[in-house]
A and B are shown apart, each in its own frame.
Chain A
Amino acid sequence: MKLMIVDDSMVIRRKIERVHQLPVEKVVQAENGHEAVAVCRRELPDVVTMDLTMPHMDGVECVKRLVEIKPDIRVLVISALADKHTAIQAIKNGARGFLCKPFSEDALNGALQKLLAGN
């Protein structure tokens, strides 16, 4: 299993890489939507954590592009944008879960487990 972490914050990318409990063989990172699309084409990750507010391409659009590249990709949106409209847009574009920042280690791993279980 490959995990891709997409966030313009280095602190957040490093935190997710440090605390996730997924049984992954490889973790790759991207700091904006354009980079995420390129990394996705190259690495074909199975699971993605996706920020929404990023320079160049926002996360909602990026989710759509990733699903076009790999339809069975599992995307967990992790964003500070706490309104329902944004979450619904991300889900409509193919995200399978939504976790609001700020998040604890337990909340992250719970959301990732639900993502893998298909809930």
Chain B
Amino acid sequence: MTEADIQVFIDGVKRYFENSVSLAAQVSTPYLVNSTEAPAEDFTGIIGVSGGRKGCVYFTAPRAMLQHLLLGLGEPIVNSELMRDLVGEVANTISGNARAVYGSDFMISVPVVVQGRPENLQLPKQLKAFVIPFQWQSYSATLVVCLE
């Protein structure tokens, strides 16, 4: 992965929050980790990537952030079912937006959502994962990109 690849996903994170809730996310410096060290919060939405690029993209966030985000979306109900749905939708949206750069050969799966720390994220072991940390309101969350 190149610096330009990382920028695609940083832009995706910023676009999601600016367009959905009109409150910008502040992205911190991305860093590399081994696939076994990838971070995970209370809820994680995982998108498998195939086609021209292979690997996965996942968004992981604490419960409190998702509760706040649902309220920001105008949702009167905040429960775990909606938080699971939302974390998958955020991952799907940021991954899908990347096709504007990579084209339709960047094929994405429907989201797999995990509540609690995933025991087995199945990141490709031969690849390193780029961690893109960001803050929205007072919360910290992470987008992890692991692509060939």
Give chain A's interface residues, CB within 8 Å of chain B.
8-12, 14-15, 18-19, 53-55, 79-83, 85-86, 100-105, 107
Contact yes or no, A18 B110, CB < 8 A: no
A103–B97 touching, CB < 8 Å: no
A-B pair count, CB < 8 Å, reads 71
Q: How far is the CB of B23 from chain A (nearest CB, A)?
A: 12
Of B19, B73, B96, the residue contacting A11 (CB under 8 A) is B73
Is B117 on the interface with A (CB-CB < 8 A)? no
Please report the C-alpha to C-alpha distance between residue A14 and residue B73 in the assembled complex, in whole angstroms.
10
Q: How far is the CA of A104 from the CA of B23 in the complex (A)?
A: 12
Please report B residues at the A interface, Cβ cutoff 8 Å: 15-16, 19-20, 22, 70, 73-75, 81-82, 85-86, 88-89, 92-100, 102-104, 106, 108, 110
A82 touches B74 (CB 8 A): no
- Report which of B16, B70, B81, B88 forms a contact with A102, defined as CB distance below 8 A: B16
Contact among B22, B85, B92, B100 with A104 in the assembled complex (CB-CB below 8 Å): B22
| Most central of A8, A19, A81 by chain B CB within 10 Å | A81
20 A/B residue pairs, CB under 8 Å, sorted by A: A9-B85, A10-B85, A11-B70, A11-B82, A54-B110, A55-B110, A79-B96, A80-B94, A80-B96, A81-B99, A81-B108, A82-B99, A82-B100, A85-B103, A86-B99, A101-B96, A101-B97, A102-B16, A102-B19, A103-B20
